[in-house]
Amino acid sequence: MFKKIVIATASVALLSGTPAEAKKKPEMTSLELQALQSHEYETTKEILFASVVSVFLDLGYQLSNADLPSGFITASSPMKNKTSIWDALGSSKGSGNTKVTAFVEQMPGGRARVRLNFVNSKTTSGMWGGSSAEDKPIFDPITYKVAWDKIDEAVFTRTATTAVTVPTPAVAAESKPAPIVVNPAAVVPVVPKPAPATR
């Protein structure tokens, strides 16, 4: 009987540990992380900054800060219920959202670069009033691909719109009267009339 209990306990521990082990992924190098989170564009910092802000709004994020001189943008998605089965078993409730930070900078050669950082945020509150918060960086390539595709489109649209030159009205040249050319042969000399004789 004791042997069966030990085997059952070991099996439960093994099964409970398997998902955690499966979720573990090798850590990304700094170069891999930059490649995932950064993109450069042939545009100005102003256009890229406005494009990122527009995309965040389109994705449903609420802007917390957007400062062009520093290039920083912070935004967060609406709060959602994130109560897990373990939270429920412990009489706790979980809620959270996704936070994103962007840094836009001007690069040499008329280019601009932006780096994004997505983070999953969760707050757990217990029935006795205690609470805990946890932030986990998001390294899912799909999350960043969705953002990059939309930013690419926004930058292209804004760059194309800015490149359209508005025709300026031509400055009319000052009109000068044409010089009058007189043919000497056509000039008839004026002969004064003789004065009447006086008596």
Domain 25-79+99-118+139-158 class in CATH: alpha beta
Q: How confident is the model at residue 22 (pLDDT cuts 50, 70, 90)?
A: very low
DSSP 31: H
Contact 144, 36 (CB under 8 A): yes
**Helix, strand, coil: what percent of the chain each, to 5?**
40, 30, 35
**What pTM did the predictor assign?**
0.63
DSSP 113: E
Task: Name the phi and psi angles at 40, rounded to 5.
Answer: -115, 150
Average pLDDT in the 183-197 region?
59
pLDDT for 98-127, tens place per residue?
999 999 999 999 999 999 999 998 776 666
pLDDT for 71-104, tens place per residue?
999 999 988 765 666 555 555 666 688 999 999 9
Task: Name the phi and psi angles at 189, rounded to 5.
Answer: -65, 145
Spatial CA neighbour of 112 closest among 54, 43, 159: 43
